[in-house]
Copies of this chain bind each other. A is one copy, B any other.
Amino acid sequence: MTEQERDLRARLVAAGVELVTREGVNALGLREIARQAGVSHGAPRRHFPTHRELLAAIARQGFGRLTDALAGADALAASTGADARTRLEALARAYLGYAAANPGMFELMFRHDLLEGSGADLRRTTLPLFRTFADLITEVHPQCDDPTAATAALWANLHGLAQLRAWGSLRLVTGTEDITPLLRAALDAHLGPAVR
């Protein structure tokens, strides 16, 4: 059983991932994905009742890869005996790095109009990711009275940096493509300065 003969369901998702990575989210037409997978335009219907459910499956793959990237970055940082603050910085860099390296996929993942109906499932896949952040936050801020709020606020900051960079306004405002000073400012704000 070769690559071409796997389950059509997995092949369609793989074709979609390939497409969204190479051409962006508006190249993810149902017929285009079917063409990419080498089947007729009616074939996806046997595996996904509607176009949006296929897109949701593609986005799920993206969330999986993002979670893997974050887990890998955290494991790498933890293996060097880094403290919680440094590990959080590694996580943040991994989040922004994924968004920058996969702009089309990142856009799809948070396009709730395309994922409506399966959005609840997708949102749930971010929960372990969130918990990783929350655990490190409570380690950095032991006497924080609302660690969930602090974690959500930091996550929102990272997410906003990713989105505004993708939109192009950060380069307009800062004059450079490099957002590491912005990331540093955000981390310093939420976690306190790096050196105390």
Report copies per complex: 2
A172 vs B119: C-alpha distance in the bound complex, in angstroms? 11
Q: Chain B residues near A184: list those with CB within 8 A.
A: 149
A82 vs B181: C-alpha distance in the bound complex, in angstroms? 30
Query: Out of B26, B149, B161, which one reaches A113, CB within 8 Å?
Result: B26
Would you call A124 an interface residue if the criterion is a C-beta within 8 Å of the partner chain's C-beta atoms? yes
Would you call A130 an interface residue if the criterion is a C-beta within 8 Å of the partner chain's C-beta atoms? yes
Q: Chain B residues near A182: list those with CB within 8 A.
A: 149, 152-153, 156
Q: Chain B residues near A47: list those with CB within 8 A.
A: none
Would you call A150 an interface residue if the criterion is a C-beta within 8 Å of the partner chain's C-beta atoms? yes
Interface band, chain A: 35 or more
Q: Chain B residues near A126: list those with CB within 8 A.
A: 169
**Contact A169–B123 (Cβ < 8 Å):** yes
**Contact A168–B112 (Cβ < 8 Å):** yes
User: In the assembled complex, how far is the CB of residue A128 from the closest CB belonging to chain B, in whole angstroms?
Assistant: 12
Q: Mark A117-160, 1 if CB is under 8 A from B, else 0.
A: 00110011011001000000000000000101111111111111
A148 vs B175: C-alpha distance in the bound complex, in angstroms? 10
Q: Chain B residues near A158: list those with CB within 8 A.
A: 160
Beta-carbon nearest neighbor of A159 in chain B: B160
Interchain residue pairs with CB less than 8 A apart (7)? A123-B167, A149-B185, A152-B170, A153-B182, A153-B186, A155-B160, A189-B189
A residues in contact (CB < 8 Å) with B: 24-26, 107, 110, 112-113, 119-120, 123-124, 126-127, 130, 146, 148-161, 163-164, 166-170, 172-174, 181-182, 184-186, 189-190
Top 8 closest pairs, chain A to chain B, by CB: A160-B160, A156-B160, A159-B160, A153-B185, A157-B157, A189-B189, A153-B186, A156-B161
